[in-house]
Amino acid sequence: MNEIERDEASEVRGWFVGLEPDDGELTRLRADLAERAADADLVDLAYATVRTPIGAVLLVASRAGVVRLAFENEDHDAVLAGLAASVSPRVLEVPGRLAQAARELEEYFAGRRRRFDVPVDLSLARGFGAAVVAHLPSIDFGRTESYAAVAAAVGSPRAVRAVGSACARNPVPIFVPCHRVVRSDGTFGAYRGGHEAKRFLLELESAA
């Protein structure tokens, strides 16, 4: 290759390098492709990660509504893998599908929302757990119920431990307020997001 050819090749390489998208452009392109896939009905489970005062949470939506919220202390990749295996492998990051859920969470943490309107999909709660999860939204903002009271409310007054297990497996915490269920002595009890996350949520609501 002579000197003129080398100069021409260098100019061509420089032209192509100039066309390479930056990180922001790649993000926009990925988001656009994800939205197109969702619009083309190629996505069964859409997800997004949202930052909150208690850490980054993973939001996952089925066609019916928010089907899973995973806290920062949970392995988000493992949660998505589990959903892919148990619900559908057609899982894709599509933040637009979770825009309403993310907005309502932001309003809740800012003290401007007491009840969620975003649809939720409770299909991951089964058996006795489904009855417990179905009861939880009746516990109003700023109030709590004991595990024993919830057990009685769902018709199984002796199933106090089972209520605790059902709350621990609640697939959509915060949206379905299992944090409002406490022990009979008033102590918090276990929580999927951790003790401090439960404390934060209860204190947030009591201060509103």
Which residue numbers are catalytic? Answer: 178
Integer-rounded Cα radius of gyration of the chain: 23
Inter-CA distances, 54 with 47, 57, 58, 94, Å: 19, 8, 12, 22
Q: Check if the beta carbon of residue 49 is closer than 8 Å to that of residue 58.
A: yes
**Other CB atoms within 10 A of residue 6 CB:** 10
Alpha carbon 35 to its chain's center: 19
Q: Check if the beta carbon of residue 58 is closer than 8 Å to that of residue 69.
A: yes
